[in-house]
Structure 1
Amino acid sequence: MTVTDTGGLRLTGLRRYPVKSCRGEDLDVATVEPWGLTGDRRWMVVDPSGEAVTAREANRLVLITPSITDSGLLLSAPDIEDLDVDRPASGPLVEVKIWDDRLLARAADPVAGDWFSGVIGRSLRLVYLDDPRRRPVNPAYGAADDTVSLADAYPLLLATEESLTQLNTWIAEGPRSADGPLPMTRFRPNLIVRGEDAFAEDTWRRVRVGEVVFRVVKLCDRCVLTTIDPVTATRTKEPLVSLARHRRWDGKTWFAVNLVPEAPYGSGVPEAPYGAGVPEALYGSVRVGDQVEVLETR
Structure 2
Amino acid sequence: MSQLTALRIHPVKSFRALTLDSCLVEPWGLAGDRRWMLIDAQSEALTQRQDPRLALFEARIEDDGTLLVGHPDADAPLRVPTPVPGPDALGPVSVFGHGFSAPVADTPEIADWFRKLLDRELRLVHLDVPARRPRPATTSLADQYPLLLTTSSSLDALNELIARDHPDLAASAGPVPMERFRPNLVVDEPTPWAETGWRRIRIGEVEFEVVQQCGRCVMTTVDQESGVFTGQQPLRTLRKRRRFEQEATFGMHLVPLAPSGALRLGDPVTVLDAGPLPQPA
The question of whether the paired residues in 2 share the 8 Å contact of 1:172 and 1:180 is answered with no
The question of whether the paired residues in 1 share the 8 Å contact of 2:92 and 2:101 is answered with yes
**1:87 aligns to what SS in structure 2?**
coil
Cα deviation 1:56-79 (Å, max 9, x = unaligned): 011110100011112321111121
Equivalent residue number for residue 58 of structure 1? 51
Aligned to 2:235, which of 232, 240, 244?
240
**1:241 aligns to what SS in structure 2?**
helix
Cα deviation 1:92-137 (Å, max 9, x = unaligned): 1001000132111111142223322222221111110011012243
The answer to whether 1:296 aligns with 2:277 is no
The answer to whether 1:94 aligns with 2:91 is yes
Equivalent residue number for residue 278 of structure 2? none
Equivalent residue number for residue 114 of structure 1? 112
Calculate the TM-score normalised by the size of structure 1: 0.86
Calculate the TM-score normalised by the size of structure 2: 0.91
The question of whether the paired residues in 1 share the 8 Å contact of 2:44 and 2:97 is answered with no
The answer to whether 1:173 aligns with 2:170 is no
Q: Structure 1 residues 48, 35: closer, same or farther in 2, change over 3 A?
A: same
Equivalent residue number for residue 267 of structure 1? none
Aligned to 1:192, which of 176, 186, 199?
186
Q: Structure 1 residues 72, 108: closer, same or farther in 2, change over 3 A?
A: same
Structure 1 runs not aligned, ≥5 long: 1-7, 139-145, 265-282
Residue identity matched to 1:200: A
Equivalences, count: 266
RMSD in angstroms over aligned alpha carbons?
Answer: 1.3
**1:216-231 pair list within 5 angstroms:** 216-231=210-225
Residue identity matched to 2:145: Y
The question of whether the paired residues in 2 share the 8 Å contact of 1:114 and 1:125 is answered with no
The question of whether the paired residues in 2 share the 8 Å contact of 1:212 and 1:286 is answered with yes
Residue identity matched to 2:213: L
The answer to whether 1:17 aligns with 2:10 is yes
**1:34-183 pair list within 5 angstroms:** 34-70=27-63, 71-80=65-74, 81-90=76-85, 91-110=88-107, 111-138=109-136, 146-175=137-166, 176-177=169-170, 178-183=172-177
**2:42 aligns to what SS in structure 1?**
coil
Measure the CA separation in 2 of the matches of 1:262 and 1:76.
34
- Larger displacement relative to structure 2 (62-71 or 114-123): 114-123
Structure 2 runs not aligned, ≥5 long: 276-281
Cα deviation 1:16-65 (Å, max 9, x = unaligned): 00000000110010000111000000001001221111110111101000
Measure the CA separation in 2 of the matches of 1:24 and 1:190.
9
Q: Structure 1 residues 157, 295: closer, same or farther in 2, change over 3 A?
A: same
